[in-house]
Chains A and B, each alone.
Chain A
């Protein structure tokens, strides 16, 4: 652990991670971990531990704002957390057994797939017959978990949006893997939760982002505990990170529920694709 770290780099990193994290419903670890390891030379375990701790404050701040605006689906968030928490524990234990390049490549490939999934134009159009048939199947399946359905007020279109939640079991299975990835790489798990909730579970993007923030609270806390108990969290590093992440997250949450969903989706997809390319290049030592 280097004796001196630049506090301004830490503060700038935290602010950017907080801003993007709460706007996109992801934790911000995809910014914090690379900067702490590449720019500040911190060992990867310290970077992951600091990232997870910062994600907790980011997620709690954003959750407070979203829940006050009634955008969070609390029941769905709590249900999915039941799968995320054991995943986060498993991920932290798995972290010790995989090498860094392997993890980096897995991370990059996963992000390419998620970016593809998030692109709005990717949605397949069905014929009217196919649409009616799939609607019937969905209605029948939906009856067993109607208690998860939600609604929220969208100030961007000045209307109350009601929605049905589909495929909660799929959401829980992928949630378990999101928990693993979160603790393994020091990210929030939002890169999996957001597309799964939005594209597969059919939750509107704004409600997805708000609910994803709630999920991050539980996942990051579980992961953080492991890193804290192993001594990978340094007070002088996490203090400026937490404060700057808080400021960025407040701003991001305010901006997110005033902006348009399609624009957010494109921004998210573009961001993921760019980060994925950088990660894969780094894994093959092309970036030096």
Chain B
């Protein structure tokens, strides 16, 4: 009975992650497809670089293709973090000590990697 309940919770958690990944993927694909279409329509340079975060809003407003793709990429790089945060919440609710520690360690590792890269 207890095992069934634990399985049911895991199933629900799996469905939640799957839904988050699907929603995120659809949003990313729409943004990237919009950016690609704008490349064809506007005839912008094919060698254009990604848009800096500071000018992202203004470039989006002026329908810059690279800005749409940049937002899509930022969302994409955040997707694994979403998996991690949802899992941390699930394992904490289930009071599973080892997976909670693993999630926290991984979250810290991703954060410190980002700091190292930015340096």
Contact = CB atoms under 8 A, between A and B. Distances in A.
A15 to B, nearest CB: 14
A143 to B, nearest CB: 13
Main secondary structure of the interface of A (DSSP, over half): helix
Contacts of B83: 63, 214, 217
Interface in B71-119: 72-73, 76-77, 79-80, 83-84, 87, 96, 98-99, 102-103, 105-106, 109-110, 113-114, 116-118
Given A57-B25, A221-B80, A67 B47 contact: no
A234 B106 contact: no
Contact of B73 (A1, A53, A64): A53
Interface in A48-98: 53, 56-57, 60-61, 63-65, 67-68, 70, 72, 74-75, 78-79, 81-82, 85-86, 88-89
B102 A79 contact: yes
Nearest to A71: B14
B85 to A, nearest CB: 12
A78 B106 contact: yes
A78 B84 contact: yes
A235 B25 contact: no
Interface string A5-24: 10000000000000000000
A81 B87 CA distance: 13
Among B80, B99, B110, B113, residue most surrounded by chain A Cβ atoms (within 10 Å): B80
Interface residues of B, number: 51
Interface stretch (A101-109, A113-121, A192-200, A224-232): A224-232
Contacts of A218: 80, 106, 110
Given A78-B87, A217-B80, A225-B113, A236 B39 contact: yes
B100 to A, nearest CB: 10
A233 interface: yes
A147 B32 CA distance: 40
A263 interface: no
A4 interface: yes
B47 A234 contact: yes
Interface of B: 10-11, 13-15, 17-18, 21-22, 24-25, 28-29, 32-33, 35-36, 39, 45-50, 65-66, 69-70, 72-73, 76-77, 79-80, 83-84, 87, 96, 98-99, 102-103, 105-106, 109-110, 113-114, 116-118
Top 10 closest pairs, chain A to chain B, by CB: A64-B21, A68-B18, A235-B69, A217-B80, A236-B46, A239-B36, A235-B66, A85-B109, A64-B18, A67-B14
Interface of A: 1, 3-5, 53, 56-57, 60-61, 63-65, 67-68, 70, 72, 74-75, 78-79, 81-82, 85-86, 88-89, 147, 214, 217-218, 221-222, 224-226, 228-229, 231, 233-236, 238-240, 242-243, 246
